[in-house]
Every structure is written in structure tokens, then in C-alpha cells.
Amino acid sequence: MKKIWMAAALLAAFSIGAEATENATADVAVIGAGGAGLSAAVQAHDLGAKVIVLEKMPMVGGNTIRAAGGLNAAGTPYQAAKGGQAALDSAEIMYYDTMKGGHWLGNPELVRTLAERSASSVEWLVTLGADLRDVGLMAGATLPRTHRPTGGALVGPEVIRTLYTASKTRNLDIRTNSTVQEIIMKGGRVAGVKVKDKEGTYTITAKAVVDAAGGFGANNAMVSKYVPKLKGFATTNQPGAQGEGLTMAEEAGAKLIQMDQIQTHPTVVPEFGEMITEAVRGNGAILINKDGKRFFNELDTRDAVSAAILKQKDGVAYLFFDSDMQKSLKATNSYIRQRYCLTGATLDEIAGLMKVDPAVLKATMEDWKKAKSSGNDPFGRTDMPRNLDVGPFYAIAVTPAVHHTMGGIQIDKKTRVYDKSGRVIPGLFAAGEVTGGIHGANRLGGNAQADIVTFGRIAGEEAFVYSKSAAN
Ligand SMILES: Cc1cc2nc3c(=O)[nH]c(=O)nc-3n(C[C@H](O)[C@H](O)[C@H](O)COP(=O)(O)OP(=O)(O)OC[C@H]3O[C@@H](n4cnc5c(N)ncnc54)[C@H](O)[C@@H]3O)c2cc1C
């Protein structure tokens, strides 16, 4: 949690606190200053639109700033530079992985757009100043395609830093502490938004509105309405992820789809609520239960790994790694300083801290090494990059928590929003976690960051074109 709030404090210093209550006019109004909203805003501005961004929280960033593991893209120069398996990747393989990972519930047209435009999303961010040179593997991906800053540092703060700096350079009008309460409709078309800030409520008249208000993972009443078994679950989401972007789009006539597709992240620290990024498993960590044994393929999809952990004693497992793995991923530097992380110089010592039989833990680690050297893992894991035999050893108790809401507003590949009769709602565009149909029944790690930048940019382009079209 600490690193998130340090990043938050940093960004709060950047926040622009416009508190105007006067009515205003824009070509494009953007709801939400997370990754999708800021991508849309920068893109629409660069094409020539007057843009106003509304963010209800005191700072920009949304769930995007919390992202740790990376951003998926296929066919980038960074994969080519890494060489080996990474260099073999393609949009076609990413499309297949995403469809399969989502249990074939994703909309093929949207998934194809995501895969085909992912590399250009990375290039766009790099052009704006991002460092996404490091390439790693995350669960559900056939080949390494997760892009993140050098040394495996956190991706979300880098994406938001880049987009926020680009917004500042362009003097974009970003209004924090400004909650959009309603998408205003006139004669079946979008006419603007109603905003509440510290001074009261006012209206922004805009021909086009981009709804990029994120998901509803932090609204447990809404989560459990769609998936009752998730009632009372903790969440990895920022407190602002309440789902108003979906509710107000529905009030404007939008159709919501696949709302019961809600993902739990398997490795969240109970009581602390901190998510341990999947890149930790990607770089070699394993899962060990309270009996000291491995029990599942750590690189299976999130839904499968979550279900497997919940079947273990107390619904908890230890994420286990050694110092060789720790040094390979900067994102772990803060984890190992937290009091939830057990540290033991030897296997005997860490076993004592985990309260497991040292002999069982040692046997587990011998079996792991045998599986790695033979390439034949009894749990079916194919990527086993490390022996995990270099002390000190680390163990973090983890359990699943609500992480991503895959369902949402129905869009097409131009991010146009559809109503319940299958007609486009003129002037309404949506991008990011507020939308549904891309990740199907299970989002792959790294695919949301690709989604928000790719569809955020498309929404910015389309909203600009719509707002300037003579017919409107
Ligand atoms: C802990 C964590 C780690 C993650 N790690 C990864 C990762 O490594 N890779 C990956 O691909 N994905 C990751 N994800 C998922 C990914 O980060 C999110 O799905 C994505 O960033 C959502 O972006 P967004 O722009 O759609 O929404 P957000 O970034 O959530 O932005 C939406 C914004 O809209 C604002 N808003 C909401 N309602 C209103 C309103 N009424 N008026 C004005 N503003 C409003 C919100 O406050 C928020 O700032 C992670 C998510 C979490 C929570």
C-alpha cells in the first residue's frame, strides 16, 4: 500500500484543482482521469479538439496508477531486442491468448483491435516519454509480451506520469474533485455532462462525451448484486471505483453486457489489501500451501489460480521466492520491506516462520528443481526460470480479492456506445474498464493497460471526428 500512496502523494502535487462552477463548453468532455480518460484527452486535443477532463477524486490516476505488472503488446521493438521467445510474438498469438484466457467470451472484433493496435500503443506512450523497455511474461500469455519500465518497475505510475505530463505540457483542462453526475441527452444525442464540484453543480455543453470512469470493483454492493458469492470480499481497487460511469451511461440508454464477469486476483495480502503483482510468479515465484506443498500451476489464469488457493487450508497460500528472483524484479523491492513478508536466511528458518514442517518444505523445493531440470512439472507449469535456492528466502501469505470488472458498456471497435435496441447513441463513446466485452470471463494480466491506452486513443479520435462533423 505504501508505494501506492507515495505515488499518490506525488501525483496529488500535480493535480489541478479548478473549482469553477460556471457552465462551460467543450468539443469533448471526458469522464475520469485514469489511463483511458487521459489517453482519450491527449489524443482528442492533439487532433484539434477543445477537451475538458472531469475527475471526481482529488488526484488523477484511478486504478491505472495501481497497476504493477505491465502492459501487454505484441510485435514491439522491445520484444525483438529481448530476442528468444519474445521475438516470436505476434498480434495473432496475442489475439488467441486473450480469447482463450477469457474463455472465448470476448468480442472477437474488440480483441482483434486490442491485439493489432497494442504495439502502436506502446510506441505512442514511448513517444510521449514512457520507459517500457523491460519485457516479461505474465500468466495466460504464450510468449513474453508484458512491457514495463527498466528493471521490472511498476507500470501504472509510469503510464500515469507519462500521460499526466503530456496533459500538463498541452495545458489540458483537467478538473479534479469534479464528479460527473449525469450524461445530458437532448433529442436522442449527447449534449454534455452535469458536474458537481466543491462550489456546486454546473453544466459542460459538449457534442461528444467519452465515458472513461473505470469499473466498480470497490463497490461491494454492486459486485455482490451480480456475483453474490463475492459479498464481503476485499478489493485491490481504488476507493473511487464505484461504477457510476456504468450507471449514468445506462441512464443515458446504454446497454451493459457481461456484468457478472468479475475477476478476483489470486495474490492479495489479507488484511493489508495489497496486491502482489503477477510478474512475481512470472519471474519464478511459486505457491506453497500451509502444509508446505505446491498445489497448482502458478501461471494458470487468475480465475483458476484463485479457485485453487481458496481450496487450500484457510483459503490462503504462500507466495514463495528466493533472492535471485527478488533481484530480477524491482517491483518486489517494496514488498520485502513490509511486515507481511516473511524472510528467512535458510529453508529451515523460513519454514519456521511459515509454520510448516522444514522437511516437507525442503522436499517441495527438491521436487521443484527436478521439475525445472526435466522440464516436466506435475502441475503443468512450462516456464520455470529459477531454481529458487538462493537465500534469503521470502514468503508472503496471499488470498484472492475482487480485482477487475470485465463487464460494462457495450461498444464497438470505434468505442461507440450501443443502446438496448442495438443502435449507436450519437456522441457517446466509452473506453477502459467501464466497458464490457474485451476480456470475456477472465482478463489476462497486462491486458487492461493495453486496453485503456488502445481504446482510450480510439475514443479520443472518434470523439474528435464526431464533434467536428458538420452533420452534428
Ligand atoms: C492493484 C491493481 C493492479 C493492477 N495491475 C495491472 C497490471 O499490471 N496490468 C494491467 O494490464 N492491468 C492492471 N490492473 C488493471 C488496470 O490497471 C485497470 O483495469 C485500468 O487501469 C483501468 O483504467 P481506466 O482508465 O479504465 O479506469 P481508472 O484508471 O480506474 O480511471 C477511472 C477514473 O474515473 C474516475 N471516476 C469514476 N467515476 C467518476 C465520476 N462520476 N466523475 C468523474 N470521475 C469519475 C475515477 O475516480 C478514476 O480516476 C490493475 C488494477 C489494480 C487495481
Domain boundaries along the sequence of the chain = 2-66+156-261+406-468, 264-402
Split at pLDDT 50, 70, 90, the class of 303 is confident
Per residue in 127-142, pLDDT tens? 999 999 999 998 899 9
Split at pLDDT 50, 70, 90, the class of 13 is very low
Split at pLDDT 50, 70, 90, the class of 434 is very high
pLDDT surpasses 60 at 8: no
The closest alpha carbon to 399, from 299, 296, 306, belongs to 306
d(CA 403, CA 439) in angstroms, rounded, equals 13
Instruction: Indicate the SS3 state at residue 274.
Output: coil
* Rg of the chain (C-alpha set): 22
The pLDDT value given to residue 20: 52
Per residue in 44-99, pLDDT tens? 999 999 999 999 999 999 999 999 899 999 999 999 999 999 999 999 999 999 99
The pLDDT value given to residue 19: 47
Per residue in 395-420, pLDDT tens? 999 999 999 999 999 999 999 999 99
Taking residues 272-297, what's their average pLDDT?
Answer: 95
d(CA 365, CA 315) in angstroms, rounded, equals 22
The pLDDT value given to residue 432: 98
Check pocket membership of 149 for ligand 1, CB cut-off 6 A.
no
Number of C-beta neighbours around residue 215 at 10 A: 32
Contact 417, 171 (CB under 8 A): no
Per residue in 314-368, pLDDT tens? 999 999 999 999 999 998 999 999 999 999 999 999 999 999 999 999 999 999 9
Give the CA-trace dihedral at 415, 416, 421, 423, to 10 degrees: -140
Check pocket membership of 284 for ligand 1, CB cut-off 6 A.
no
Check pocket membership of 237 for ligand 1, CB cut-off 6 A.
yes
The pLDDT value given to residue 470: 59
The pLDDT value given to residue 6: 47
302 noted as active-site residue: yes
Residue located nearest, by CA, to atom 33 of ligand 1: 32
C-alpha cell at 319: 507466495
Give the CA-trace dihedral at 114, 115, 120, 122, to 10 degrees: 90
Residue located nearest, by CA, to atom 3 of ligand 1: 67
175: enclosing H helix or E strand: strand 173-175
pLDDT surpasses 60 at 10: no
Check pocket membership of 34 for ligand 1, CB cut-off 6 A.
yes
What mean pLDDT is reported for the chain?
94
User: What order of strands is seen across the sheet that includes strand 146-148?
Assistant: 71-72, 146-148, 134-136
Query: Lowest-pLDDT range, 18-32, 190-204, 217-231?
Result: 18-32
The domain 2-66+156-261+406-468 is placed in CATH, from the list 3.40.50.300, 3.90.650.10, 3.10.180.10, 3.50.50.60, at: 3.50.50.60
How far CA 408 is from CA of 36, 303, 311, 431, 442, in Å, comes to: 14, 19, 30, 10, 14
Task: Give this prediction's pTM.
Answer: 0.89
Which residue is catalytic, options 112, 175, 302, 416? 302
The pLDDT value given to residue 2: 42
Number of C-beta neighbours around residue 124 at 10 A: 19
Please give the CATH architecture assigned to the domain spanning 264-402. Answer: Alpha-Beta Complex (3.90)
d(CA 135, CA 122) in angstroms, rounded, equals 12
Ligand 1 centroid to 265 CA: how many Å? Answer: 15
Q: Ligand 1 pocket check: which of 38, 64, 176 to mutate, most ligand atoms within 8 Å of Cβ?
A: 64
Per residue in 285-295, pLDDT tens? 999 999 999 99
